[in-house]
Each structure stands twice: as structure tokens, then as C-alpha cells.
Amino acid sequence: MTDISPLAVPAAPDAPEACGFAPCEGGVCAAAGISAAGVSAGFRRNPKRLDLALVVADEPCVAAATFTTNRFCAAPVTVSRAHAADGRARAVVLNSGNANAATGEDGLTCAERACERVAAELGCDPDDVLVCSTGVIGVPLPWEPYEAGVPAVAAALSHDARGAHDAACAVMTTDTVPKEVSLSGIIPQRDGSERTVRVGGFVKGSGMIQPNMATMLAVLATDAPLTVDAARDALRAAVGQSFNKVTVDSDTSTNDTCILLATGAAGGEPIDRAHPAYPAVAAAVRAACVDLARRIAADGEGSTKLVTVTVTGAASDADADAVARAVANSPLVKTAIFGHDANWGRVAAAAGKCGVPFDQRAVDIDFLGVPVCRGGLTVPMDEEDMLRRFEAPEIPITVDLGMGERSTRVWTCDLTHDYVTINGDYRT
């Protein structure tokens, strides 16, 4: 073992406690004014699998959304992008089992009809309904499950944690666990009083994961009275530091969607960017997104480890991000982690190929908080100690480029035999 000190890792600014929030119960329904449900509607072959989710605000409310950057985007993305343009929504309907992607005009018609069916059930405008799909690409989405499923899922709506959990389960594809978060905190008012607000949500995502956005559907809700511009800014910033920092296999999906509903049911003053409560609410939205993003990486298809790649000492944010993603996406790095091999050479090679200029003589690398490279040269390590450290569920890798003061984090997972099996059998 060496007496060389480990690299300093920047403190995470997005822990809930940092913004005065704490975990609470309720998932997406933690936000007042939100109900949710999930049912089996027949989109999937297995009748025991929930496959249709609905999230509803008691009244039309502020909505913000971000979508896939993949130019081969799915029909529900096209429809939801248009419906979310005015910054308002009442409901989000989501199905698993079929992506409704590469389905032409019929796919667009089906997505629009889904919004109309939900709107008729809720008594709202179809433009106030957003639609999401996930599953196999290139297969026509059947209409019949919507016809029977929408009334069933609407009847099952509840404002409690059970409804939130069922909705989270209904959007799972290759996910092994549902992914939910809920936070509660107190925010200030301009008159000196305080209000309790909550942020909750769920996400699906396990494979076909690469920034920007990853293959994911996320629905977040808050009862804070955000304005449209504040909600959009908060969500955009949160996604940039969370879902856009996740990679499993460097593939960007056709269906990625992240939606934030702000009901305002907590009451109090409208919160715009200038309001004293905005930083706390925006930080809570970011903390919720980071929590969900980490859950995606930890549940990467076939994964056994959550891997956090931290790059420090970069000359720019772009340089830090490029190096972190190169390391996180490297099959050789990911397989080394699966094999419990602290092979820092694979990290160095991945960093060096991405086009970011640096002096290899200035590069330091840590595995699991243990120095393995200093100044571009090997630091002797205790192999048995490293094997023991690899038993941890989360594997941190830190790279200091020695070029500046910028840093970033990217979350990924190891690459296992099961990843090949899962994706080889995806359609069957």
C-alpha cells in the first residue's frame, strides 16, 4: 500500500439536504394535487405485467418537458412536444411494451387518439394530455389496449403512494426494479412566512442509455407554484446535471421524455426565477433527478455495479464531460470493473482517445479512493485489498487531468454477460 493521498473529489451539490429537503413518502403523488395509477391494459404479452400508467393533476397546471435528441424520434415525442409548447398540461399517459417509433402517420394518429381518449375520460382538452411510450421500435402500436385500458387506469387513480408505485411499475421494460423518489422541504415567502413543498417522481431506464437524455421516461411533479419559465429553467438545468450524465451503452433512444408538472397546490406566491424560493425548489428538482439518474445507472441491463466517473482538473466543462463520458462508455473499462480489475491503463486509454488535450505526465487516477496512477505512472497497490474494495455496490473512478479547475460526474455501470443476453433476446 502507498501513503499517497487520494484525489480530492468535489462535494456533491445535489444531495437533498443541501437544499433543505429530505426524503418523504409518496413517489410522484407526494406532490399535492397529483394522482396516479398503473394497470395491465394488454400492451404486453404477459397479462400480469402492468403496462399502462396515468399521472393526473387535479387541475390543468404548469408543465415543462425535455425530449430525446435522437432525430429518429417516436410519435409520442412529436405529439407531446407540440402539446407541451404552451407550458400547461393536465395529464401524462404512458405505455410500455411498444415504443410507437418508426410507425409513420398511423403512429402519430394513435398517439393523438390516446390523448383524446384520456381527455374524454378526464373532461379536459386533448392538448392538455402528454403521451409517452417505451418498448420495441418499428412495431405498430395497437389501439385496443388504450380503448379498454384508459377507463380502467382512470378509475384506479389515487393520490397515495400505491398509485405512484403502480405507475412506476407500469413503465418498466428491462428495468429490474421500479425507480421512484419523493422529497419534502420548507421554502421562504417574500413576506417572511414559509411553505412546505414536495417534489416526487419516477423514471424508467435500464438499457439504450446515453446522454443526452438516455432511454428513459420520467414524470416529475411538484406542488410548488412555479411559473412556466421557472419550471422550464429548473427542469432544463436538472436534466443537464442528471439524466444527461448517465450512460450504460452509448445508445440514445427514440423516445426519451422527461416531464415536470407543477400544480401549485402548496399555495403561496408564484415562484419565478427572481423569487427567493426558486433556488431551493430548483435544487430539489435537481436532487430528485440525480437520485433517479443514479438508479438508472445502478439498474443498467445486466449490471452488478454502479460506477461514478469523476473528472477533475479539466480546462473546461466540455473537456471534463468529454473525458468522463469516454471513460464511462469504454467497454474495456466496464468489463474491467465487472472482473474486479483496477486496470487504470484502460481508463487512461479511454481518456486519451477522446480528443481533449492534456499532458499525460500531469494525469492522476484513483480507483475506489485508492491512488493507482500519479503523473501518468503506476502507483503500486495491494491487489488483495483492491479485490475486497470491489465488493462494494458502487465503484468510484476519479481522473485529474491537471489542466484546470473544472470538473464533472458521469454515472454508468459495468458490462456483463447478461447485457448481451438481455439485448440479444429483447424482442423474444
Per the residue annotation, which of 103, 134, 215, 312 is the catalytic one? 215
**318 Cβ contact list (under 8 Å, min separation 6):** none
* SS3 assignment, position 47: coil
Do 224 and 281 contact (CB within 8 A), yes or no? yes
Closest CA to 300 of 209, 198, 171, 199: 209
| Alpha-carbon span 82 to 105, nearest angstrom | 16
| Alpha-carbon span 223 to 87, nearest angstrom | 16
Q: How far lies 405's CA from each of 189, 319, 339, in Å?
A: 36, 11, 33
**141 Cβ contact list (under 8 Å, min separation 6):** 43, 75, 95, 98, 100, 103, 107, 110, 111, 133
Closest CA to 138 of 255, 53, 216: 255
| Alpha-carbon span 130 to 143, nearest angstrom | 17
DSSP-derived pairing of the beta strands 257-262 and 217-222: parallel
Do 211 and 309 contact (CB within 8 A), yes or no? no
Closest CA to 247 of 345, 350, 171: 350
Q: To the nearest 10°, the Cα dihedral for 213, 214, 218, 223?
A: -40
| Burial letters 120-132, b for 16+ CB under 10 A, else e | ebbebebbbbbbb
Do 252 and 297 contact (CB within 8 A), yes or no? no
User: Catalytic residue at 215?
Assistant: yes
Q: Which residues form the catalytic set? A: 215
